[in-house]
Amino acid sequence: MQLNRRHLLGLGAGALAASAVAGCSSTTSSTAASGASVISEDERTKALNTPTELTFWTWVPDIATKEVAKFMAAYPNIKVKVENVGQGAAHYQKLRTALKAGEGGPDVAQMELQYISSYVVTKSLVDLTPYGAASLQPLFVDWCWKQVVMANGIYAIPQDSGPLGNVYRKDILDSAGITTPPATWDDYYTAAKAVRAKTKSYISNFASGQGGMFVALLWQAGAKPFTWDGGQKVGINLTSPEATKVMQYWQKLIQEDLVSTDADFNDAWYQGLANGKYAGWVTAAWGPVFLQGTAAKTTGLWRAAKAPQWSTTSDASGNWGGSTTALIKGTKNPIAAYELAKYINSNDASALQFATDQFFFPVTKSTIANPTWSSQTSDFFGGQKVNELFGGIANSVDANFQWLPFMEYVYSSAQDTMTPAITNKGDLVAAMKAWEAALKTYATQQGFTVA
């Protein structure tokens, strides 16, 4: 059938390209960390000057007119078609379908940090080492770079991250008598009681179905719930002392009615933020972007602070979300695609633009050190230098955090086990056990060895 023939042609072309790349040696080739040889400058120049059309799937707003436009201006022979095929889960579903069909997929796609391993395990991403990705390492923040390296390869170029912080309504907390943002989780508990008693708001909402946030909180507490060795071994531990500590804390707040448990990112939740039902949000650095759109009428009343800490002596932060750009297997123009991914994420001007125009949290050392970015003030936060604050937080993210290679199922399973327990104010530790059991069953069914 025609489908099969095209699929085979694509594979053949890929194999030819791969063998050409491997067999090529020139005066300027170098060996990357993993031992694979890197393409020559001649090949790179040739690819950049050949008229090419690339397809780029991403849901980042305005990227076509900003960063990608910069790339196309620098390399006029390469045309990039930017397509938004959905946000988050919808994007991944389409990607999976295209990969399964063997056609219809993009050359380059947005890939959140947490999903990279899920696509590496199905061999859906192109290893970027042969294109020189190893040379990009010094440009990026260490913990972020570690997230894109696995299974003997480099599989994505980091774009932004989501270090946890606490954004809150200064006016509501002031009226409850809280003038300094809570520094520890114990302080947060006390503050929650005051807010509930003296105002009509909750100090924040513990979103019942937001698996990404649970994991970020575990990350902050030093838990390492997931490991994957790049092959057949996975580790799943949601009942460690750190994880239990986190869940017992939130169970206490939920059961004492100090936080609400509404599902997030739906209409009612946006209304809650805009109307002051929630006096704060423990969220990632990209969180405020959502506030500025939907809670626009509360501009100037918000402030950002470090996320509450478990320890009084050292700072630790978790990470929620954050994206990268990856090459999808089957791309007919890997060199051009690599150059696109490299340019938009590591070119100084482009990386800075992500941070200043789209309010991404930068992962390039140059942007973080750039005073244009760090001194940017925000009207929404009453003139606060939010970037400077989050910049400090980013340094305390635990660099050794891993993900399971089937995160779609992990989050779906969280909604089946954790969400009912949270909504019904039940036993969260028992729910974590159930979640862990479901994940272990799935991993074994899929052929993994579970540690």
Residues that bind another protein (CB under 8 A): 89, 93, 96-97, 100, 121-122, 208-209, 232, 262-263, 265-268, 271-272, 275, 277, 405-406, 408-409, 412, 415-416, 419-420, 422-424, 442, 445-448
Of 165 and 209, which has the nearer Cβ to another protein?
209
Nearer to another protein, 225 or 405 (CB): 405
- What is the CB-side half-sphere exposure of residue 228 using CA atoms within 13 A? 25
One-letter identity of residue 431:
A
Q: How far is the CB of 450 from another protein (least distance, A)?
A: 12
> Please, what sign has the CA dihedral across residues 234, 325, 281, 308?
positive
Nearer to another protein by C-beta: 205 or 317? 205
DSSP 261: -
Nearer Cβ to another protein (232/375):
232
Closest to another protein by CB, 50 vs 275, is 275
Min dist. Cβ of residue 415 to another protein (A): 5
Q: Which is nearer to another protein, 122 or 255 (by Cβ)?
A: 122
**188 Cβ contact list (under 8 Å, min separation 6):** 182, 203, 308
- Could you give the C-alpha distances from 98 to 1, 77, 119, 274, 344, in angstroms and in order? 17, 26, 13, 38, 24
Tell me how far, at minimum, the Cβ of 447 lies from another protein, in Å.
3
Q: What is each CA distance from 54 to 170, 344, 377, 400, in whole angstroms?
A: 46, 14, 36, 34
Q: Nearest approach, Cβ of 174 to another protein (angstroms)?
A: 24
Nearest to 404 by CA among 119, 70, 72: 119
CA separation for the pair 426, 417 (Å, rounded): 11
CB of 451 to another protein, least distance (A): 14
> Helix (H, G, I), strand (E, B), or coil: what is residue 326?
strand
Taking the CA atoms of residue 261, residue 265, residue 270 and residue 273 in that order, the dihedral angle to the nearest 10 degrees is 50
CA–CA distance, 410 with 446 (Å, rounded to integer): 13
Q: Closer to another protein by CB, 295 or 355: give it.
A: 295
Nearest distance, CB of residue 258 and another protein, angstroms: 18
User: Which C-beta is closer to another protein: that of 65 or that of 266?
Assistant: 266
Minimum CB–partner distance for residue 405 and another protein (Å): 7
Q: How far is the CB of 431 from another protein (least distance, A)?
A: 11
Shortest distance, position 102 Cβ to another protein, whole Å: 14
Q: Toward another protein, which CB reaches closer, 185 or 442?
A: 442
Pick the closer one to another protein by CB: 143 or 406.
Answer: 406
Nearer to another protein, 181 or 272 (CB): 272
> How many Cβ atoms from other residues are within 10 Å of residue 277's Cβ?
16
The answer to whether the CB of 182 falls within 8 A of the CB of 166 is: yes
Distance CA 17, CA 19 (A): 5
Q: How far is CA 27 from CA 23, 47, 145, in A?
A: 14, 18, 29
- How near is the Cβ of 175 to another protein at its closest, in Å? 21
Nearer to another protein, 23 or 447 (CB): 447
Least gap, CB of 425 to another protein (angstroms):
11
* Cα–Cα distance for residue pair 190/206, rounded to 1 Å: 16
In 3-state terms, what secondary structure has residue 30?
coil
The torsion angle over the Cα atoms of residues 259, 172, 219 and 431, rounded to 10 degrees, is: 0
Q: Closest approach of Cβ 170 to another protein, in Å?
A: 23
Q: How far apart are CA 434 and CA 248, in angstroms?
A: 15
Burial of 72 (0-12, 13-18, 19+ CB in 10 A): middle
The set of residues, in sequence order, having a beta carbon less than 8 Å from that of 56 and lying 6+ positions away, is 68, 80, 81, 82, 83, 106, 107, 108, 109, 340
Residue with tokens 């997931």: 226
